[in-house]
Amino acid sequence: MDIEQKQIPRLIKAIESLTINPFPAQHWKIQGTDNLYRIRVSNYHYSFLTYSSPLEGRG
Per the CB < 8 A criterion, the answer to whether 41 and 11 are in contact is yes
Residue 19: Cβ-neighbour burial (10 angstroms; 0-12, 13-18, 19+): exposed
Mean of all residue pLDDT scores within the chain: 86
pLDDT above 60 for 59: no
Q: What is the pLDDT of residues 14-56, one digit of tens each?
A: 989 988 998 888 899 999 998 999 999 888 889 998 887 666 5
pTM above 0.85, yes or no: no
What residue spans define the domains of the chain?
A: 5-49
The two most distant CA atoms of the chain are separated, in Å, by 37
Share of the chain above pLDDT 70, in %: 86
Could you tell me the pLDDT band of residue 57, with boundaries at 50, 70 and 90?
low
Q: Does pLDDT of 13 surpass 90?
A: yes
